């Protein structure tokens, strides 16, 4: 079977045969309201770090603990360092107590549970937050209202659901497609926004979804510069609307 030329290239990217990377960002917001917010599990506004910080990873379940826990035991986190270069590390869980990362991060856009006990998943809600004054968990592992959450894992998901990403340094991202889905009988307003480094968020796509899934394919991919923040926003005509959405990027070395 013959594939279109672009499919052959994408397959080569997936196999690591070319100097490019594929990024699939997908998120879920279970309580979209009449105010526009990013599509991510924690809901509400998302606050970006302005300087790189050590992060802490904690859970609101005592079952998420290294070695003996029946829930999650280790998690792989992926983000960018102070110079916006890609970095990742594995962090071990200690239940309600936040565990500090070995490296500092200016951005965090993915967490993946890569080992667990007999449950096979994170039993509690897992959050990553900066190790700084004002960002803390309660004794039960719940973020305080001043905790600047950078990423959140819903219970049992084993991976973050956040349509939020930042293009690494020395790469240009090419937007291939964007999608969103809403099942409820309410119109959902979607906006893909990009903030070039040192600038402000700019709307690059704007469309509506009503009780269906809609995908926008770009025959000519849209370039997005290095260090740009990319985020998909959702807003509904009612409250408590469940929305999923995401986007596909091709990262190419500059």
- Residue 7 backbone phi and psi in degrees, to 5: -70, -40
CA–CA distance, 41 with 58 (Å, rounded to integer): 16
And the tokens for 14?
A: 């997936």
pLDDT tens profile 7-66: 687 777 888 888 889 999 999 998 899 999 999 999 899 999 999 999 999 999 999 999
State the alpha helices, DSSP H only, in the chain. 5-14
Q: What is the pTM of this model?
A: 0.93
Side-chain-side CA neighbours of residue 197 (13 Å): 14
What is the tens place of the pLDDT at every residue in 53-111? 999 999 999 999 999 999 999 999 999 999 999 999 999 999 999 999 999 999 999 99
Phi-psi region of 214 (alpha: psi -120 to 50; beta: other; left: phi over 0): beta
The CA distance from 169 to 164, in Å, is 16
Q: Indicate the length of the chain as a whole number.
A: 254
**Can you list the domains of the chain with their CATH numbers?**
19-40+163-253 (2.60.120.1330), 53-153 (no CATH)
pLDDT in tens, 133-147: 889 999 999 999 889
């Amino acid at each position: 079977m013959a594939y279109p030329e672009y499919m052959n290239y994408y397959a080569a990217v997936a196999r690591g045969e070319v100097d490019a990377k594929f990024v699939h960002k997908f998120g879920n917001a279970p309580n979209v309201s009449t105010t526009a917010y990013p599509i991510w599990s924690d809901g509400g506004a998302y606050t970006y770090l302005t300087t790189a910080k050590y992060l802490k990873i904690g859970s609101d379940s005592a079952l998420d603990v290294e070695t003996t826990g029946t829930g999650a035991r280790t998690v792989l986190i992926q983000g960018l360092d102070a110079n916006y270069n890609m970095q990742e590390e594995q962090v071990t869980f200690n239940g309600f107590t936040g565990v500090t990362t070995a490296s500092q991060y200016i951005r965090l856009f993915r967490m993946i549970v890569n080992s667990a006990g007999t449950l096979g998943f994170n039993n509690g809600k897992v959050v990553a937050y900066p190790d700084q004054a004002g960002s803390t968990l309660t004794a039960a592992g719940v973020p305080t209202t001043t905790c600047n959450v950078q990423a959140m894992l819903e219970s049992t998901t084993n991976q973050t659901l956040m349509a939020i990403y930042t293009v690494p340094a020395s790469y240009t991202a090419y937007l291939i497609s964007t999608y969103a889905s809403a099942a409820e009988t309410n119109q959902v307003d979607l906006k893909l926004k990009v903030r070039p480094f040192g600038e402000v968020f700019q709307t690059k796509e704007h469309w509506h979804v009503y009780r269906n899934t809609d995908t926008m394919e770009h025959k000519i991919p849209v370039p997005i510069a290095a260090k740009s923040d990319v985020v998909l926003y959702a807003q509904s005509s009612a409250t408590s609307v469940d929305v999923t959405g995401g986007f596909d990027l091709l990262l190419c070395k500059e």
